[in-house]
């Protein structure tokens, strides 16, 4: 009798569990419909359920408080810096480094002075460096020319993360129509006075936060580089410089042409370009940085473009991207080519030239806030996991393993997954320790997987995609894999 009773109770429990699952499924469907097409698409797709009994409820740690408020951005300061840069006449890298009134040296002086003032006003944390070097390229006429970059470094406060560096960069050189013409005016208000202004304003916003809250865990480098127009010379050098100083690049944010937004309905979203990388069936670290920025700043602020740069064009993130580092490019929504790389002139009633009057500071201020907030949260986060692996092919379960150094300020790790056709990650589960986790009843084949670290403060590292174990299919002898 007792046994019968037990088995009856057991059946009731099973029925109740099935009922509860149905309720959850319906709730999930409604929620999906309310939160966006990507989730809704999942709910209506007629595919086997993975896992069959439903995904575990992941613990959710709220993102960090203290988001940088838009009204704290100093648009006036950004505008006056750009005016100073334009007034240098030309900032061609081959122009004078020593004339305080005209040429690229004039621009270096203004930027270094700004950074020094910011440092003084925020307790002296910000270290200003003028880095001098020489480079040779086709666009230096094949001979070595002097170059200088300006850096302001906000040191990380966590001994374990202080050698992890996040970089925001704009290029302070400009060019007229002829990239070798040292005499012509090259105002370069948008390209790239705007990116320099974003880098300097980010330095101001984050130094202030560091002064009030005692600093961020990782180091941030605010850069203004030269030589971009002569062939990405300054940023290639910066990539080497940070390596020599013993830093690991956690992320590089290149801001280039982020000042104008003339289309009706402005301010629009800023575009963030990220390359695919060269990993089979997965994404590059740069793509993960783009996703992290979009998650931090929101889809209404960031328009991700899954392409390394504008079609057929390049920028300062490229040397970092090619080195396998996480690097993205911010650029305004829709460019006007009459205002780029043009010697100022009027032809057939068309005005050419990169003037300050075309800039939109409401838009540019948004870009500064978005950069600074992304840097803040990334520099507050634990280090990303390492050695993320996916195994379990030809078994019913996906197994994900990863390693991580000890970190007392880390809450744990989020296991991420997405449909192979989906642009964004979803959180599958949460676990507090590194090692291996088995996703019961989840195929290795139908999703991509990644892991990221979550701080107790809610800041997330960029995601690290799981590398797959190589199981090359049998192929005819002599075929190259
Ligand atoms: Zn540029």
Length of the chain: 481
**192 CA distance to ligand 1 centroid (A)?**
5
Q: In 3D, which of 401, 391, 389 has the Cα closest to residue 442?
A: 391
Of residues 300 and 214, more confidently modeled: 300
Using the mean position of ligand 1's atoms as its centre, give its distance from the Cα of residue 264 in Å.
24
Q: What is the pLDDT of residue 12?
A: 43
Q: In 3-state terms, what secondary structure has residue 402?
A: strand
Q: Using CA of residue 138, residue 139, residue 143, residue 146, what is the dihedral sign?
A: negative
Query: Would you state the pLDDT for residue 7?
Result: 47
80-107 pLDDT per residue, tens: 999 999 999 999 999 999 999 999 999 9
Q: Provide CB contacts within 8 A for 435, sequence distance 6+.
A: 401, 402
pLDDT of residue 35: 46
Average pLDDT, the chain: 91
Report which of residues 7 and 63 the model is more confident about.
63
Residue 54 has pLDDT above 90, yes or no: no
**Which residues, other chains included, contact 270 with Cβ-Cβ below 8 Å and sequence gap of 6+?**
258, 301, 302, 303, 330, 331, 332, 333, 363, 366, 367, 370
- Provide, for the chain, the percentages of residues in helix, strand and coil under a 3-state DSSP scheme, each rounded to the nearest 5: 35, 20, 45
Q: How far is the CA of 297 from the centre of ligand 1 (A)?
A: 23
Mean of pLDDT values over 62-90? 98
236's tokens: 């290639």
Q: Is 17 helix (H, G, I), strand (E, B) or coil?
A: helix
Cα 234 to middle of ligand 1, angstroms: 12
Cα–ligand 1 centroid distance for 190 (angstroms): 8
Grade residue 476 by pLDDT with cuts at 50, 70 and 90: confident
Quick one: which of 156, 160, 128 has its CA closest to 375? Answer: 156
Model confidence pTM above 0.75: yes
Residues that place a CB less than 5 A from ion ligand 1? 191-192, 256
Please give the Cα distance from 98 to 81 (Å, whole number): 19
Least confident of 7-21, 38-52, 432-446, 454-468: 7-21
Task: Give the distance (Å) from ligand 1 centre to CA of residue 186.
Answer: 12
What's the 315 CA to ligand 1 centre distance in angstroms? 7
């Amino acid at each position: 009798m007792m046994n019968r009773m037990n088995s009856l109770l057991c059946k009731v429990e099973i029925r109740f569990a099935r009922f509860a699952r149905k309720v959850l499924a319906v709730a999930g469907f409604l929620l999906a419909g309310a939160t966006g097409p990507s989730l809704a698409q999942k709910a209506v797709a007629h595919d086997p359920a993975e896992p069959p009994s439903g995904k575990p409820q992941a613990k959710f740690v709220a993102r960090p408080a203290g988001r940088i408020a838009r009204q704290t951005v100093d648009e006036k300061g950004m505008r006056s810096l750009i005016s100073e840069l334009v007034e240098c006449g030309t900032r061609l890298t081959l122009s004078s480094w020593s004339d305080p009134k005209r040429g690229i040296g004039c621009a270096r002086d203004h930027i270094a002075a700004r950074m020094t003032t910011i440092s003084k006003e925020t307790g002296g944390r910000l270290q200003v460096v003028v880095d001098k070097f020489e480079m040779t390229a086709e666009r230096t006429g094949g001979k070595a020319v002097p170059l200088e970059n300006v850096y302001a470094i906000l040191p990380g406060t966590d001994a374990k993360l202080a050698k992890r560096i996040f970089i925001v960069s704009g290029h302070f050189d400009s060019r007229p129509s002829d990239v070798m013409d040292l005499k012509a005016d090259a105002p370069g208000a948008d390209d790239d006075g705007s990116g320099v202004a974003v880098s300097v304003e980010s330095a101001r916003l984050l130094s202030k936060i560091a002064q009030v809250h005692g600093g961020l865990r990782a180091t941030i480098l605010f850069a203004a580089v030269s030589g971009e127009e002569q062939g990405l010379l300054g940023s290639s050098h910066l990539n080497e410089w940070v390596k020599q100083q013993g830093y690991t690049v956690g992320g590089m944010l290149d801001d280039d042409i982020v000042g104008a937004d003339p289309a009706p309905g402005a301010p629009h979203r800023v575009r963030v370009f990220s390359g695919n990388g060269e990993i089979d069936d997965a994404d590059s670290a740069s793509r993960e940085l783009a996703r992290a920025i979009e998650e931090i700043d929101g889809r209404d602020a960031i328009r991700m473009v899954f392409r390394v740069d504008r079609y057929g064009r390049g920028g300062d993130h490229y040397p970092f991207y090619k080195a396998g580092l996480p690097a993205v490019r911010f650029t305004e929504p829709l460019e006007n080519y009459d205002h780029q790389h043009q010697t100022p002139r009027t032809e057939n009633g068309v005005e050419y030239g990169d003037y300050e009057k075309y800039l939109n500071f409401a838009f540019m201020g948004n870009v500064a806030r978005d950069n600074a907030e992304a840097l803040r949260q990334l520099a507050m986060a634990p280090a990303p996991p390492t050695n993320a692996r996916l195994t379990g092919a030809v078994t019913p379960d996906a197994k994900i393993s990863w390693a991580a150094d000890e970190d007392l300020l880390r809450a744990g790790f989020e296991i991420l997954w997405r449909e192979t056709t989906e642009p964004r990650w979803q959180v599958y589960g949460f676990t507090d320790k590194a090692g291996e986790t088995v996703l019961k009843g989840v195929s290795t084949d139908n999703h991509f997987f990644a892991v990221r670290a979550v701080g107790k403060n809610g800041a997330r590292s960029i995601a690290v995609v799981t590398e797959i174990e190589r199981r090359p299919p049998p192929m005819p002898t002599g075929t190259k894999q």
